[in-house]
């Protein structure tokens, strides 16, 4: 039985832990996360997410009896009954409490009602009253009642050997931001339906109400079935998932890219004539009517797959090739690249708005008025609609780092009638893990600047942007470019849930972070700040290893492997340990760090906590980082073995052969370990997702890369994690080393042995 036990003694029991010595240089980055929490609920041991707008503790306590009676309105709707069912399920599953339903409030222990409540905070607001005799959740609308139930479920605590209880309190709660969206990007992977539905439940628990799903080819478009990847969700499955989400008050918004980002469509030969540039599958020709015919079909499928949804998102960002094609070049001279973009978005929006959907686009408030050549705009990317006002009614969902403290541009766009979604700043596209605690800015191998992590960045963004009834929504993105496991994004998602609901609470970032770990994983979880910091650092070490940055950062040099021995006298060129001395030092450092990370994962896997699967994912990451560190040490050892063989060549042939065999064993063991680590990762990740790039009996996966050179799209399967290591060519090296060793034995060692006999 798990819940929110009192945290007075435990909430920061690890805050004063002596951090691994190698981490000391960024301890200052953790200081914002190591401060005692100050809010009344946190002091009372309650880890409620998101924090309510108004709360007052009364000093009373309600002890949950077993069995327990729940009263609902006699005219309760189906969604009200669903919310009630969720409460009953939680009480049964987590607390082993049986429940009965009634419409008689007087005899009930818990009352769920939509009568006798304030309506000024809209249909998402709710009130929750806990006395020693009863718990009452009241709301004016179905979403509010559901959110009140989600709050109640998080308030239940367990004492030491006592029955579950809820501290007495009065809550009035409502969201600062009406539409709270998570961007769910599955362009380079497909999660199972079971995982998707669990993900929806998790988001709903924290009051997220939109899931903007960028599914690309993970949906089997009935109008053009070849586009959907093998195993893609069918129309029926997507409709069922949409209705499932609606029960949890989560609206699924399909994001099917329009102008750019469309290689999943234009890679197919039958659509190549729709490309703006024939050599590139990245972008549609906006002057070709066939582009619209195809997109309108796909968007119609997407809307049919998401019945009841208010929005559709057509993306259309990163249009790198716009105006550079053989058919668009002249038109661009006439109306500009921005004019071409406007032509596409306006035509698309007009069509889609006729269906009743509101159209989201990656565009920024007033970006079309800003000249990046001015001082104010220096360093900002030019809006694709510069000098062309966007189509009326589109929803603006893009970032805009040029905003002023008084939200000047957002206010101007709002005054023009645009809906605005605040864009949670990009967390980055780093490999393996989200850079929560620190990020690196600048060239990876040139002493990059260490700056605040994405967690602190988002915290300050929400606190400064939301809470003034200016934004219609918030969108938190999770780009799949580098192929991170979706569970690594959960802290980011729930940070957005917390501060988009309540951007003005008194809680510190430290309190929220500690609260999140115990809310999501349970009170018995340990050392989470340390684990996330280790993975944050380790992911950068992994990313800076071998050629993993060539795909996005240009010329950074090539990693070589130690020289092979040659000729009878064992010639070779010793340079590797000199050239890569710094990487070897780092490898030793990260070997210790990943040993610690793996120990933390192991400790939590045997503890009584929730969401244990995450620790399998974290283990797979730590093992891969550890393997990367060991590979550097293997290469160092390999050169040392060859050096020793060289030194023994004219002293002791048996010793020479021994060191050649040691070199052989080093490479052989490295390859075996790589397979073991990779197989473990695949086994863990494919518990929640389909095999990447898989074929089915009905269909083969058609793999083709595009100009974005996404890290996760370097291979059709999960080998993108080890692809750069494969490029080292250790298999070929081992073959050559084996051949040399055997030849050396036959030509030099064996004749000597025969002679000595």
CA dihedral 210, 214, 215, 216 (to 10 degrees): 160
Cα–Cα distance, 715 to 723 (Å, whole number): 8
Residue 185's closest CA among 478, 589, 542, 404?
A: 478
Active site residue 318: yes
Q: Which of 318, 511, 537, 725 is catalytic?
A: 318
> What kind and span of H or E run contains 252?
strand 251-255
Asked if residues 159 and 165 have their Cβ atoms less than 8 Å apart, the reply is yes
Helix extents (H) in 569-612:
576-579, 581-605
Query: Across 377-519, where does the E strand assignment appear?
Result: 395-396, 419-424, 438-441, 449-452, 473-476
Cα–Cα distance, 711 to 479 (Å, whole number): 11
Structure tokens at 599: 């120990």
3-class DSSP assignment, residue 613: helix
> What kind and span of H or E run contains 625?
helix 613-648
Cα–Cα distance, 479 to 458 (Å, whole number): 16
Q: Which residues pair with 185 in a beta bridge?
A: 214
Burial class (CB in 10 A: 0-12, 13-18, 19+), 308: exposed
> What kind and span of H or E run contains 534?
helix 528-543
Residue 175's closest CA among 520, 473, 461, 490?
A: 473
Q: Which residues pair with 254 in a beta bridge?
A: 213
Residue 488's closest CA among 544, 429, 542?
A: 429
Helix extents (H) in 156-234:
193-205
Asked if residues 120 and 98 have their Cβ atoms less than 8 Å apart, the reply is no
Distances (CA, A) of 587 to 70, 493, 538, 673, 740: 58, 32, 10, 16, 29
Structure tokens at 287: 């002057």
The CA-based angle 411-412-413, given to 5 degrees, is: 95
Cα–Cα distance, 121 to 176 (Å, whole number): 10
Asked if residues 597 and 535 have their Cβ atoms less than 8 Å apart, the reply is yes
Cα–Cα distance, 77 to 706 (Å, whole number): 49
Residues with a catalytic annotation lie at 318
């Amino acid at each position: 039985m798990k819940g929110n036990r009192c945290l007075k003694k435990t909430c920061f029991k690890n805050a004063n832990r002596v951090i691994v010595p190698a981490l000391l240089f960024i301890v200052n980055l953790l200081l914002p996360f190591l401060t005692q929490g100050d809010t009344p609920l946190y002091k009372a041991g309650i880890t409620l997410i998101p924090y309510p707008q108004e709360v007052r503790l009364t000093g009373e306590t309600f002890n949950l009896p077993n069995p327990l009676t729940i009263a609902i309105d006699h005219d309760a709707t189906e969604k009200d009954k669903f919310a009630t069912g969720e409460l009953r399920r939680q009480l049964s599953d987590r607390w082993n409490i049986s429940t009965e339903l009634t419409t008689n409030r007087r005899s009930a222990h818990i009352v769920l009602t939509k009568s006798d409540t304030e309506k000024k905070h809209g249909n998402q607001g709710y009130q929750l009253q806990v006395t020693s005799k009863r718990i009452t959740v009241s709301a004016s609308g179905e979403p509010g009642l559901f959110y009140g139930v989600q709050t109640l479920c998080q308030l239940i605590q367990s004492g030491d050997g006592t029955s579950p209880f809820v501290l007495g309190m009065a809550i009035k709660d409502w969201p600062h931001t009406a539409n709270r969206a998570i961007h769910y990007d599955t362009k380079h992977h497909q999660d199972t339906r079971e995982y998707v539905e669990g993900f929806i439940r998790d988001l709903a628990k924290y009051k997220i109400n939109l899931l903007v799903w960028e599914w690309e080819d993970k949906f089997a478009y009935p109008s053009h079935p070849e586009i959907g990847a093998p195993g893609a969700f069918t129309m029926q499955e997507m409709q069922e998932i949409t209705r499932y989400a609606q029960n949890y008050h989560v609206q699924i918004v399909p994001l099917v890219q329009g102008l750019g980002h469309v290689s999943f469509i234009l890679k197919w030969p039958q659509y190549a004539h729709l490309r703006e540039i024939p050599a590139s599958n990245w972008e549609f020709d906006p002057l070709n009517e066939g582009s619209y015919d195809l997109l309108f079909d796909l968007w119609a499928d997407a809307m049919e797959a998401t019945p009841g949804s208010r929005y559709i998102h057509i993306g259309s960002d990163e249009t790198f090739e716009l105006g550079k094609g053989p058919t668009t070049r002249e038109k661009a001279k006439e109306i500009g690249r921005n004019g071409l973009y406007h032509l596409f978005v306006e035509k698309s929006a007009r069509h889609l708005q006729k269906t009743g959907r509101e159209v989201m686009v990656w565009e920024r408030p007033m970006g079309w008025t800003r000249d990046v050549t001015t001082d104010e705009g220096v360093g900002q990317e030019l809006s694709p609609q510069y000098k062309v006002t966007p189509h009326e009614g589109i929803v603006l969902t893009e970032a805009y780092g040029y905003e002023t403290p008084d939200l000047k541009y957002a206010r101007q766009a709002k005054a023009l009638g645009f809906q605005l979604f605040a864009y949670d700043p990009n967390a980055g596209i780093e490999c393996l893990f989200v850079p929560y605690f620190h990020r690196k800015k600048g060239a990876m191998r040139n002493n990059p600047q260490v700056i605040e992590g994405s967690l602190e960045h988002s915290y300050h963004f929400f606190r400064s942007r939301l809470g003034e009834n200016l934004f219609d929504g918030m969108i938190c993105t999770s780009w799949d470019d580098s192929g991170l496991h979706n569970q690594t994004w959960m802290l980011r998602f729930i940070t957005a849930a917390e501060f988009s609901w309540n951007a003005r609470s008194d809680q510190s970032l430290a309190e929220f972070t500690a609260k999140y770990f115990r809310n999501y994983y349970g009170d018995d979880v340990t050392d989470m700040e340390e684990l996330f910091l280790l993975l944050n650092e380790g992911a950068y070490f992994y990313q800076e290893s071998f050629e993993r940055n060539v795909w996005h950062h240009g010329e950074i040099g090539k990693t070589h492997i130690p020289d092979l021995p040659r000729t009878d006298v064992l010639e070779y060129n010793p340079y590797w340990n000199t050239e890569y001395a710094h990487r070897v030092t780092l490898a030793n450092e990260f070997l210790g760090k990943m040993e610690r990370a793996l120990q933390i994962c192991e400790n939590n896997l045997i503890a009584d906590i929730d969401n244990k699967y995450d620790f399998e994912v974290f283990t797979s990451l730590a093992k891969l980082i550890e393997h990367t560190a060991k590979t550097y040490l293997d290469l160092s050892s390999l050169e040392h073995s060859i050096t020793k063989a060289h030194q023994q060549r004219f002293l002791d042939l048996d010793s020479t052969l021994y060191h050649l065999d040691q070199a052989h064993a080093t490479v052989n063991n490295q390859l075996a370990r790589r397979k073991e680590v990779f197989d473990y990762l695949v086994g863990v990740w494919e518990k929640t997702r389909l095999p990447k790039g898989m074929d089915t009996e009905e269909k083969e996966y058609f793999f083709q890369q595009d100009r974005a050179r996404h890290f996760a799209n370097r291979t059709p399967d999960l080998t993108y994690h080890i692809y750069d290591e494969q490029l080292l060519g250790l298999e070929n090296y081992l073959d050559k080393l084996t051949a040399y060793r055997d030849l050396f034995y036959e030509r030099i060692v064996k004749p000597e042995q025969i002679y000595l006999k």
